[in-house]
Amino acid sequence: MFKKLYLMLALATAFACHAAPAKVNYKHAGPNDLQPDEQQSVVLKYVYTLISDYNYKKVPLNDSVSAIIYDRYIKKLDENHNYLLASDLKEFEQFKTTFDDDIKAGNLANVFYIFNVFQKRYTEYVNFSIAQLGKSFDFSQNETYTYNRDKLPWAASETALHNVWAQRVKYDLLNLKLTGKELAANKETLKKRYTNILSQSNKLSNQDVFQAFMDSFTEAIDPHTNYFNPSNAANFNIDMSRSLEGIGASLLMENEFVTIKSVTPGGPADKSKLVNADDRIIAVAQGKTGEFQDVVGWRIDNAIALIRGPKGTTVRLQLLAKGVSPTAKPRVIELVREKIILKDISAKKETRTYMQNGKAVKIGVISIPAFYLDFADYKAGNPNYKSTTRDVKLILDTLKRENVDGVVIDLRQNGGGSLMEAVELTGLFIKTGPVVQVRDSRNQVEVNKDDDPAIAYSGPLAVLVDRFSASASEIFSGAIQDYGRGLILGTQTYGKGSVQNAIDLDKVITPSLKDKLLAVAGKTKIVATGSQNKFGQLNLTIAKFYRINGNSTQHKGVLPDVDFPSIIPLDKYGEDTEPSAMPFDVIEKSDYTAVGNFTTVLPQLKKLHEDRMAASQSYKYLLQDIEESKKQSGEKSVTLNEQKLKQERDADEQKAFEHNNLRRLALGLQPLKKGQVKPKKEDTDFLQKEAGQVLTDYLTLGSKLTTVKPAGTN
């Protein structure tokens, strides 16, 4: 699919003569006085050029777009109006129509000035909160704390926000008090919490500011054109490939220490027998002779960047075991990095059995969390590369050996991923033919086809989707629907009908310019940091995809054949809620032949489903949950009166406990006693169960209702 995007040569030419940008006098306002660097200025201009020249959606960067970027940036910093003052916003107004010029010039001074003012306010109010803990509190007063302030005017004075934060502290204390602990202990708990918040704020770097602004810039143009700084780019690519290169351990920050929380079975850390859960990493060194870098107090993402790295390379760690004094001598271990496959977030299977007319019907369910592909392994010709299609094919082979009567593909919460995987996965269920059409910015249409006549599974099929099924999920479910190959069940999907190309900026920015940037930073050569690049990645929208029937999924998504209620609010999430989203449109249909048609059987399937839901207590409770969620999302304040809040909490807790047990009974599960922990492997997925039941209904009605008649017959 658009296998050659001619960006590199054009950009290399465009920037070949550009030296590092001139320095500007940055203003200082915040406690850390964060400043942009020359590299970020260059990246900003490169990203602007890429978007203006190659983005599918052509949007001129002008004053009106500048205002949108400004509004998004302010919202990203202080959406709930908790920190900035009306006077701050009045001062910032001067930048509202200058961001377009700043972006073109690579000028980040105004962006950082706004952030530094914000961080100054942030620090002031957290310190104010810590100071409040020295005061006494009366929890018998009829006060109210308004926690949802996004629709309220900006505070007119520091005093006004001090009142808000005083109420916030009181609410936090009241929450802890209702757990039964003493006031002194609660104050100490909050002091640690606020101090930790302040510590995390002080660890923010200019990369965080740059990322926040770049998000505001790119999303103002198009919701799915995104810039990722180096650490975010690494995480994005790990998510796409479902693999990483490192030591095989999950890490968390605890009390300023990078702490190992779990060890991946079979990974380098596990095989060494020298690494244990709760070990603290004190320092990291590259190779057998590299110098150790102390990582105590580091941000977790920066520490991870040092620990990850290309497979086959060596990393050394200084470790302290749990409970050992920080002043003790750490032990030093040496590990060789390997490729780690993230199996827990790959496609999985289960089987469900339904009784229909006295006969057992076995349905296989395959849950697919994303359309992942280890592109590096695929490109290198590794026959065992990790991919959705390869994993699902193995699962289908297993399900066929288990003699399942039908298969449900569960794509709920699947936000998409690899376009190639969407096409190849569809190919497991059809003989050959087009799967998706892709139109580029020149209005040229390319049809992506399945050319492999092999079919991995030819039996009855259903696809379960929800509002968060997007992009590649919509390509797959749309093709399955257009071919009449399977039933689509659930709710209207997200509506993301655009195609992105991942551009490694390290491969775009000219070598000479890289050297100049590193010289400014006091370096002489590019040194790889773990598995990260140096300049980040741009996911650029280059095309729009269409179903083989000619309809775009953009805005409208895929509509199910049988509707299920949506737990996810359709009016709050989805492409049609994004102001900068592209519109729905239609192109000519592809040349394809449907293999089935559910038109005749759908009315019967819908009626059976609706009759079952009308008699289902689980369905009734699901609708109640949806209504309760809507009610809670509309609440904006809470009482600070201890007696009233306790009564409300107790009533809510009792109601939730009773309703949970009623739901369990409706699902055939034993009710729980108060305080009893729910068993881990319980089947509480009512919607997935109903999807299997709809497919079972179809099986009992007979496939004759969906057979496509040969051409020329009546």
> What are the residue numbers of the active site?
471, 482, 496
For residue 269, what are its two tokens? 């850390």
Backbone dihedral angles phi then psi of residue 157, each to the nearest 5 degrees: -155, 165
* C-alpha distances in Å from residue 72, one per residue of 47, 204, 261, 373: 18, 20, 36, 32
Tell which phi-psi region holds residue 34, choosing left (phi > 0), alpha (psi between -120 and 50) or beta. beta
Q: Where are the alpha helices (DSSP H) in 203-277?
A: 206-221, 230-241, 268-272
Residues contacting residue 106 through CB under 8 Å, at least 6 positions apart: 21, 41, 42, 44, 45
Q: What angle do CA 583, 589, 593 make, to 5 degrees?
A: 140
Can you tell me the distance from the alpha carbon of 507 to that of 215, in angstroms, rounded to the nearest whole number? 21
Q: What is the DSSP letter of 343?
A: G
The full length of the chain comes to: 714
- Write phi, then psi, for 360 (nearest 5 degrees): -80, 130
Distance of CA 277 to the CA centre of its chain: 27
HEC letters along 473-532: HHHHHHHHHHCCCCEEEECCCCCCCEEEEEEEHHHCCCHHHHHHHHHHCCCCCCCCECCE
Report d(CA 330, CA 48) in Å as an integer: 47
| The pair of three-digit structure tokens given for residue 461, joined into one six-digit string | 């099929």
Q: 650: burial class by Cβ within 10 Å (0-12, 13-18, 19+)?
A: exposed
Residue 420, number of CB atoms within 10 A of its CB: 18
Residue 522 region, left (φ>0) first, then alpha (ψ -120 to 50), else beta? Answer: left
The two structure tokens encoding residue 418: 């690899």
Residue 69 to residue 225: CA distance in whole angstroms:
14
Closest CA to 307 of 295, 324, 322: 295
DSSP state of 193: H
Q: Is 280 left (phi over 0), alpha (psi -120 to 50) or beta?
A: beta
CA-to-CA distance for 164 and 707, rounded, in angstroms?
A: 65
Tokens 């040496």 locate to 334
Q: Is 295 helix (H, G, I), strand (E, B) or coil?
A: coil
